[in-house]
């Protein structure tokens, strides 16, 4: 009844509130918070831990091995659920919380919801300075947790129990907002966690949320349509926002009705099946010759749900200087980039409105035929690129084998290094929304942890399918402990660990800019007297996984079949060549800083080559 209250600690109130929040997805009602990842310490175990203990069924808590990897897992969980569900992460005061900074930055760059509930120093300051406290002599209120303000969309420090009545709904609103979506951080001083307050009972009543769909302004639709009707060589850039909006069907229908070729960003991979005749391929630095050929020739580009980062745009050299852009995006900031004609709104509603208003328009058949011809040539290149036989082992070969043997609904996860480019270029989409290439923050270490988080989400709805992780040796050495997590929690992963002896893709960039190999491949580290190979199969076995080292792609194929048949996490290790076997086609120019002055003739020549391409770079804001 109105006015009724219940006395709870701050921590108990937070947990009870989260457990009462639901979301409607495709007509079904489920908890918006799928649970959490936690490592307890003195800053969160006594109060928040006590509160979570009573909600183990409603909010299952997964014990992490590293706070950073917990955050990666939470981000991958949210991505699987298309930002409509999230996980929380809880860490203790001090280094545990500090470990979440990188994960928060990843979620922020990728615009993914994640809630961080982190311990903080005492609000009373009576025991100061406390264990793990950073003291700022001129500002006693400043602490480690303030650093998260740069990598979150919502930040708060709870200094009184009543504040969560406003803070929790505000954090949830940000995490579920299509335009402002991102991580939320709530700092919880250790004493405040245990303080009590008489909360209104209404705060804990079950509530069902829905993702807002912002209809675009009719005037902006009219401007976009007027420009599209002038197009002789139009293309659609399909970004990750297409999937987050649930607009895949609308994208396909609009493209088919207008005959406009579609190119995909890295975040937008798996917006269309590889076999769709209007899917022209991935665009940009890690793209395809087909998509980049039509992008270069296009006169009007409709970008849908993309933030148009440099790997998509070839540092803004992938398009003609006089090409015109239309950007349909839920976020105003993205819709207006590079002097685009903005259409601010939901991708699903926006595409429907564009299709209706553009009725009667059809891209010239010669243009559509050109795009399809380029895609056929690219498909032939990929088929040869993934072929194995009398040639060095490569990423592309491993990708091709998995692509041939996996289930269409299996989910592929990778990040950073050379594998995003190789997966983006060589993977042929078998089903919608099955590819997670983390390249918004390009963060090594996401691969296995993200695979674990994706598998937790996948097991909720598709338990008979697999999550497949591609990871290089550099990223494996950086963060591998969630192999153990996946075994402990019985969330099976299939991990392809491809060993090229170091950070080979950065070595390739080093060489391509005229530099000698230095400090990237293990063999080229001057501080390493005797390089040796890690026994990755033995290491994975020690973490509880089934593991095997294979010598060639044919053996990898047989090992992958066994992994598919198993109900346990499997790690398959194969050496790949650090210099040969890279996908050499499909790349656009990418701006990197090169020395304007050097004693090396090769470095000077590479600098001149890089600078010579700058004349093609658009100057839009």
The pLDDT of residue 1: 63
CB-based contacts of 168, cutoff 8 Å, min separation 6: 14, 17, 18, 186
CATH number of 386-575: 3.40.50.970
The pLDDT of residue 621: 53
Burial class (CB in 10 A: 0-12, 13-18, 19+), 526: exposed
Confidence of residue 338 (pLDDT cuts 50, 70, 90): confident
Q: Do domains 5-209 and 386-575 have the same CATH topology?
A: yes
The pLDDT of residue 619: 80
Reported as a single tens digit per residue, the pLDDT across 66-89 is 999 999 999 999 999 999 999 999
Rounded Cα distance between 41 and 82, Å, is 31
Query: Is 597 a residue whose pLDDT tops 80?
Result: yes
CB 500 within 8 A of CB 398: no
Confidence of residue 353 (pLDDT cuts 50, 70, 90): very high
CATH number of 5-209: 3.40.50.970
The pTM of the whole model exceeds 0.95 = yes
CATH number of 218-378: 3.40.50.1220
The pLDDT of residue 283: 98
Dihedral angle over CA of 393, 394, 399, 402, nearest 10:
10
Query: Is 518 a residue whose pLDDT tops 80?
Result: yes
Reported as a single tens digit per residue, the pLDDT across 37-69 is 999 999 999 999 999 999 999 999 999 999 999
Burial class (CB in 10 A: 0-12, 13-18, 19+), 210: exposed
Buried b (16+ CB within 10 A) or exposed e, 372-388: bebbeebbebbeebbeb
Give the per-residue SS3 of 105-144. HHHHHHCCCEEEEEEECCCCCCCCCCCCCCCCCCCCCCCH
Identify the DSSP state of 502. Answer: B
Q: Average per-residue pLDDT in the chain?
A: 97
Domain boundaries, the chain: 5-209, 218-378, 386-575
Query: Is 620 a residue whose pLDDT tops 70?
Result: no
The pLDDT of residue 26: 87
pLDDT above 70 as % of the chain: 100
Of the candidates 466, 424, 431, the one whose C-alpha atom is nearest the C-alpha of residue 570 is 466
pLDDT above 90 as % of the chain: 97
Query: Read out DSSP for 447-466?
Result: HHHHHHHHHHHHHHH-TTS-
The pLDDT of residue 277: 98
């Amino acid at each position: 009844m109105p006015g009724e209250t219940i006395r709870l600690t701050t921590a108990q109130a937070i947990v009870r509130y989260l457990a009462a929040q639901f979301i409607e997805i495709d007509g079904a009602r489920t908890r918006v918070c799928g649970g959490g990842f936690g490592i307890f310490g003195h800053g969160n175990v006594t109060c928040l831990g006590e509160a979570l203990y009573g909600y183990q069924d409603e909010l299952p808590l997964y014990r992490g091995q590293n706070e950073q990897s917990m955050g990666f897992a939470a981000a991958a969980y949210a991505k699987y659920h298309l930002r409509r569900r999230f996980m929380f992460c809880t860490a203790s005061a001090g280094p545990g919380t500090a470990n979440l900074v990188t994960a928060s930055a990843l979620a922020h760059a990728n615009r993914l919801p994640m809630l961080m509930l982190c311990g903080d120093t005492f609000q009373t300051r009576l025991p100061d300075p406390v264990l793990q406290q950073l003291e700022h002599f001129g500002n006693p209120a400043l602490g480690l947790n303030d650093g998260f303000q740069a990598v979150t969309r919502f930040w708060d420090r709870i200094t009184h129990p009543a504040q969560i009545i406003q803070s929790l709904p505000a954090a949830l609103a940000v995490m579920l907002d299509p335009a402002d979506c991102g991580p939320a951080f709530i700092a919880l001083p250790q004493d405040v966690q245990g303080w009590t307050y008489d909360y209104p009972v209404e705060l804990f009543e079950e509530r069902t949320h829905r993702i807002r769909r912002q209809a675009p302004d009719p005037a902006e639709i009219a401007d976009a349509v007027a420009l599209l009707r002038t197009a002789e060589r139009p293309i659609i850039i399909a970004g990750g926002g297409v999937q987050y909006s649930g607009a895949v069907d609308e994208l396909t229908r609009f493209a088919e009705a207008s005959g406009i070729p579609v190119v995909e960003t890295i975040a937008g991979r798996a917006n269309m099946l590889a076999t769709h005749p209007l899917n022209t391929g991935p665009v940009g630095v890690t793209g395809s010759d087909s998509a980049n050929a039509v992008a270069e020739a296009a006169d009007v580009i409709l970008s849908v749900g993309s933030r148009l980062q440099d790997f998509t745009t070839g540092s803004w050299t992938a398009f003609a200087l006089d090409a015109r852009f239309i950007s349909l995006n839920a976020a105003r900031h993205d819709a207006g980039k590079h002097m685009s004609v903005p259409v601010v709104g939901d991708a699903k509603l926006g595409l429907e409105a564009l299709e209706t208003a553009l009725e009667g328009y059809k891209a010239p058949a010669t243009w559509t035929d050109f795009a399809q011809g380029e895609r056929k040539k690219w498909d032939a290149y990929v088929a040869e690129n993934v072929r194995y036989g009398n040639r060095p082992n490569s990423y592309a070969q491993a990708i091709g084998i998995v692509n041939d043997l996996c289930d269409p609904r299996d989910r592929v996860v990778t990040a950073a290094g050379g594998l995003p480019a190789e997966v983006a270029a060589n993977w042929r989409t078998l089903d919608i929304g099955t590819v997670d290439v983390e390249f918004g923050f390009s963060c090594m270490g996401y691969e296995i942890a993200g695979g674990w988080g994706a598998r937790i989400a996948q097991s909720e709805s598709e338990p008979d399918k697999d999550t497949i992780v591609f990871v290089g040796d550099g990223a494996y050495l950086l963060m591998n402990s969630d192999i153990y997590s996946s075994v402990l929690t019985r969330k099976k992963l299939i991990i392809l660990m491809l060993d090229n002896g170091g950070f080979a893709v950065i070595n390739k960039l080093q060489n391509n800019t005229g530099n000698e190999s230095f400090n990237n491949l293990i063999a080229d580290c001057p501080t390493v007297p005797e390089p040796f190979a890690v026994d990755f199969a033995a290491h994975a076995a020690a973490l509880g996984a089934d593991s095997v080292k294979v010598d060639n792609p044919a053996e990898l194929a047989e090992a992958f079949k066994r992994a598919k048949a198993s109900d346990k996490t499997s790690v398959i290790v194969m050496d790949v060549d650090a210099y040969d076997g890279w996908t050499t086609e499909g790349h656009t120019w990418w701006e990197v800083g090169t020395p304007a002055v050097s004693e090396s003739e090769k470095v000077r020549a590479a600098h001149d080559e890089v600078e010579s391409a700058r004349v093609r770079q658009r100057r839009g804001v």
